[in-house]
Structure 1
Amino acid sequence: MLGKRSRLFFGISVGALIISIILAVWGFPKIIRSQIQKNIQLDNSSMMYEKWRVLPMPLKFKITVFNVTNTEEINNGKKPKLQEIGPFVYKEYRERTVLGYGDNDTIKYMLKKTFIFDAEESAPFSEDDMVTVINFSYMAALITINDMMPALVSTLNMGFQEMYSQYGLDDPFITVKARDLFFDGLFLNCRGNHSSLALICSQISTTSPPTMRPTEDGSGFYFSMFSHLNRTASGPYSMVRGIENVKELGHIVSYKEKTFMNNWGSDPYCGQLNGSDSSIYPPIDENNVPKRLYTFQPDICRSIYVDFMSKTNIFNMSAYYYELSESAFASKSANPDNKCYCKKNWSGNHDGCLLMGVMNLFPCQQAPAIASLPHFYLASEELLEFFDGGIKPDKEKHKSYIMLEPNTGAVLKGVQRLQFNVELRQMKIPQLMKVPTGLFPMLWIEESAEVPPSIQEELQQNLKLIGYANTARWVILALAIIAAVVSTIVVVRATLPGWSGRNSVFVLRPTNVNGIDLNKG
């Protein structure tokens, strides 16, 4: 009877062990992955959906201006001396309007950003501070004209003098309030006597650059660097929802109904839409950590990547740290893939491919703006030689990076920095007759975010549950192994000579006590 029971116990324990192995190796991980996917996929019922649709906390949008301190010397051919003023800090709120759902597990939406000045964070700086900067719109227009029709530069410059009459146009610099430069706008007059002014204003009206908005009375335009971000929503975007394949979660498949950015010609590398919109990423498989993460940046009409650097810890959570490396904005000699970004000369000394660390935005913005990292970090040292002070690259201050929680793909902390430059070019007009030619920075921006304490706590609780589930699968497996070992011992001992089922399964029946043979009689 005991033998039958021990064999039954053995069979059950072996069956439990097999089931435990399956659960530990396949079942529990699948259940955990399935639950994570339900929480992070872009579906009305998921925990992530509403946080993705309306960002629960504002990003920090910081603007630092390069104030020009020696305009007279520059006008006479000397090197520029610059002074950083800022940062001017804005709260950046993001809200998405869902337009519908498409094929291939996609969601279609518009993205609206709203910027509100944060006086407390900005102190001691205010929006009313006066700054002297390179006249970005003026230089951009002159360079465009000079590259297309150099003979018209002098004639059209007379129209520009009327356009900028409110500020004076004695040189390529302008002194204005920070608020006007950033969002409110610098008034550009279109009512004057010179015929070239009408031609300039007509061209602005036709091309409708995003940095220009017409006045209500039709008397001119307002130029500002960022008001277009505050006025209109961008998109539509089409993004993978991650319901069918969580590894594709957040991938942008089209922007403004385009699946390819033809600003850079037909080259498949530069024109590809690759990566997310920087708000959401798929979970990271710790056995197959991606070497690069991509984000699509509509303001520069291309995808940018960050490279994996290390595994780290932040907010008491494990994180994967990615950083923008020099290859993203590298020259074609350093990164041959970037050759398709070489589109238009920015200087008479160049062939259309820029120096290390800078990118021509003309094909994207239809204006000769040049992007770089702040202070020309990771750029050619040749760019630094143009200045006599105020430009000093610093990795910790000027790098861009992101930290992701691997189980959920949540962005724990991220910083993205970008500098806007325009060429200061010597030309045969009074304002530019003696200036040195070189790439001149106007300002740089920083967008940063980190999860607030409330969401940190939520993530930590979810990770604890994942930890408990992982612990449970190994505990169950350990108990199953113990049960299998015990049952094996029972079966083996049950087959030994002298075994009796009437005694404890671990005690053999005695045959002799105090010299008396118990088996007799």
Structure 2
Amino acid sequence: MAGVGNKKSIVFGVLGVLLVGVGTLLVFLVPVIMDEQVEKNVRIDPSSGFAYEMWRDLPVPFYMSIYIFEVVNHKEVLLGEKPQLQERGPYVYREYKKKQNITFNENGTVSFVEFRTFHFDPEKSNGKEEDHVIVPNILVLGSSVMLQDLGIAIKWIISGAFSAFNEEAFINKTVKDILWGYEDPFLDFLNTFLPGKLPFKGKFGFFSDFNNSNTGVFTVNTGMEDISRVQMVDNWNGLKKVDFWNSEQTNMINGTAGQMWPPFRKPSEPLEFYSPDACRSMKLVYEKEEKFRGIPTFRYTAPNYLFANGSDYPPNEGFCPCVASGVQNVSACRFNAPLFLSFPHFYNADPGFLESVEGLHPTEELHSLFLDMHPLTGIPMNCSIKMQLNMLTKSVSGIMQTGQIKPVILPVLWFAESGHLDGPVYNTYYNILILMPIVLEYLQYVLIGIGLCFITVALVLPFVKQGKCFLFWNSNKNVDESQEFKTQKEKLTAPNGIVLLEARL
């Protein structure tokens, strides 16, 4: 019997040691396995299957929500009164993005152009594309500011042309025309009279060059040689830097193309990306930890100095000529058209901008931008990027259409570009990023726990006394009783001769 007990102890001991060993090994291997899986899934590699297909043809639904500011007192504005604005919308468009002309280069980079198209979504919108809205006429007000330094005779000619083509300071157009463009004979006249002076050609609309277009040729690192460089821009349209601005720092093309970032993020590392629409690199900073539908994320927001002027934030001096902080002059990359970027409703901007108009109500909840990123992979889970387009309006001597308009940075519209992981894409990432690590983490501790139990049994087993189980009952039958059986029977027989029932190990 002792030999059998020893064999059991050895079996339990060996199993216990193996389980503890495997569990302990997993404690060290799981992070390595996860890191390898992350690197495999974030590299731009055609052989990676799902990850590459998602990068090439982003299946995440993106929406562009556009809010237009109607000038409800446009006649009074021409007489010098403060503009009163009424926000209209949102007019929501489903945005589709797809990379084309993908070319892998020998230096570990890949070049591509990303085409984007927009389709109106009436169910998500508060209004129709056929809605009429009164907005500033950039062809008049913008051109007047751009041509204000010309001789008075030229400006009289321009003013006469405005009258001949029935162009006024404010126009009443449909939302569709305002956003996506409309034919204007005066635009053809201006481009003939002043070739190369205006940024508008063909149809005029605030987003006329957005639909069925691309943002240029991006060349980014694939991460095959250095995972910390994946998605980082190598050049844009063949350029290592742009020449719109007045300093080397502001002309730099930094970060990624704005869709993904290198993995293994730390809170101290900002998110940088180059925006062709804003003609500059932008930076988001870590704010706090969040969760998106069970997936842990870092929330990034725009720093207060993003649109600060050079006086409040010296590195931004290169973007000047500047106005007060909170609004950036982008005329340098818009053919000197007097256009400005800010956050919606002048959120986080100098109070003077808000006081110069009526009808704006900035709040952090509605008008601040954010991006929630899974720090392990560098993949955004949820984001809403918000910007406002403004223009300088003022009275220009010699152009009677500008009346007595006081100089003001006038909000024209703002938009929110939003998207989040959903459907099969979300399920795939949740299984890979959440469930798999949890299963592996629990598995390692379960194996260690079971192994320790087996080892404990192996240590205790040799010291447990082995006995037999006897069952006695009163019977008239004659049985062949062994000596051991008789001894046990005597112990279990009461003085009155009654046999007791007992089981003993």
TM-score bucket (shorter structure):
0.7 to 0.9
**1:147 CA drift (Å):** 4.3
Inter-partner Cα distance in structure 2 for 1:188 and 1:58: 38
Which residue is 1:64 aligned to?
67
1:87 to 81, 86, 90: 90
Inter-partner Cα distance in structure 2 for 1:90 and 1:203: 36
Q: Determine whether 1:420 maps to 2:389.
A: yes
Percent identical among aligned pairs is 26
8 Å CA contact 1:188–1:223 kept in 2: the answer is no
Equivalent AA in structure 1 for residue 347 of structure 2: Y
8 Å CA contact 1:403–1:414 kept in 2: the answer is yes
**1:368 CA drift (Å):** 2.1
Distance 1:393 1:20, change over 3 A: same
Equivalent AA in structure 2 for residue 95 of structure 1: K
Which residue is 1:33 aligned to?
35
Which residue is 1:144 aligned to?
146
Which residue is 1:379 aligned to?
349
**1:98 CA drift (Å):** 3.8
**1:10 CA drift (Å):** 9.0
The 5 Å alignment of 1:218-367 reads 222-267=203-248, 269-285=249-265, 288-342=266-320, 352-366=321-335, 367=337
Which residue is 1:187 aligned to?
184
Q: Deviations over 1:430-488 (max 9, x none)?
A: 2224111111111111111111233222222222012212333344455666778888x
Q: TM-score, normalised by structure 2?
A: 0.82
- Secondary structure at the aligned position of 1:259 is classed as coil
Which residue is 1:108 aligned to?
111
Q: Deviations over 1:89-140 (max 9, x none)?
A: 11111010143112442211001000111122224x1111111111123222
Inter-partner Cα distance in structure 1 for 2:327 and 2:451: 61
Equivalent AA in structure 2 for residue 377 of structure 1: Y
Equivalent AA in structure 2 for residue 52 of structure 1: W
Inter-partner Cα distance in structure 2 for 1:441 and 1:186: 24
**1:284 CA drift (Å):** 3.4
Inter-partner Cα distance in structure 1 for 2:18 and 2:81: 85
Inter-partner Cα distance in structure 1 for 2:88 and 2:453: 69
Inter-partner Cα distance in structure 1 for 2:124 and 2:10: 74
Equivalent AA in structure 2 for residue 239 of structure 1: V
8 Å CA contact 2:19–2:447 kept in 1: the answer is no
**Could you list the runs of 5+ residues in structure 1 that have no partner in the other structure?**
192-196, 215-221, 343-351, 491-503, 510-521
8 Å CA contact 2:23–2:443 kept in 1: the answer is no
Q: Determine whether 1:177 maps to 2:168.
A: no
Inter-partner Cα distance in structure 2 for 1:477 and 1:282: 34
Distance 1:16 1:53, change over 3 A: same
Q: Determine whether 1:97 maps to 2:85.
A: no
8 Å CA contact 2:144–2:396 kept in 1: the answer is no
Q: Deviations over 1:264-305 (max 9, x none)?
A: 1442x21222222222223334xx334421121111111112
Q: Deviations over 1:3-56 (max 9, x none)?
A: 9x999999998898677655423x321111111221232211322211221121
8 Å CA contact 1:370–1:420 kept in 2: the answer is yes
Which residue is 1:213 aligned to?
201
Equivalent AA in structure 2 for residue 177 of structure 1: T
Inter-partner Cα distance in structure 2 for 1:207 and 1:115: 29
Which residue is 2:159 aligned to?
157
1:405 to 359, 374, 378: 374
Inter-partner Cα distance in structure 2 for 1:382 and 1:372: 13
Equivalent AA in structure 1 for residue 313 of structure 2: N
Equivalent AA in structure 2 for residue 439 of structure 1: I
Q: Determine whether 1:369 maps to 2:333.
A: no
Q: Deviations over 1:386-430 (max 9, x none)?
A: 11x211212111111111123333322110111111111122232
1:466 to 433, 437, 448: 437
Inter-partner Cα distance in structure 2 for 1:118 and 1:320: 30
Structure 1 stretch displaced more, 153-162 or 8-17: 8-17
- Secondary structure at the aligned position of 1:213 is classed as coil
**1:231 CA drift (Å):** 3.5
8 Å CA contact 1:275–1:296 kept in 2: the answer is yes
Inter-partner Cα distance in structure 2 for 1:477 and 1:188: 80
Inter-partner Cα distance in structure 2 for 1:100 and 1:126: 40
Inter-partner Cα distance in structure 2 for 1:281 and 1:484: 47
Computing the radius of gyration from Cα coordinates, the structure with the larger value is 2
8 Å CA contact 2:60–2:420 kept in 1: the answer is no
Which residue is 1:345 aligned to?
none
Inter-partner Cα distance in structure 2 for 1:84 and 1:151: 39
Equivalent AA in structure 2 for residue 260 of structure 1: K
Greater RCO (CA < 8 Å, at least 6 residues apart)? 2
Equivalent AA in structure 1 for residue 393 of structure 2: L
Q: TM-score, normalised by structure 1?
A: 0.80
Q: Determine whether 1:453 maps to 2:423.
A: yes
Q: Determine whether 1:438 maps to 2:408.
A: yes
- Secondary structure at the aligned position of 2:250 is classed as helix
Inter-partner Cα distance in structure 1 for 2:187 and 2:247: 38
Equivalent AA in structure 1 for residue 44 of structure 2: L
Equivalent AA in structure 2 for residue 61 of structure 1: M
Equivalent AA in structure 1 for residue 235 of structure 2: S
Distance 1:484 1:100, change over 3 A: farther
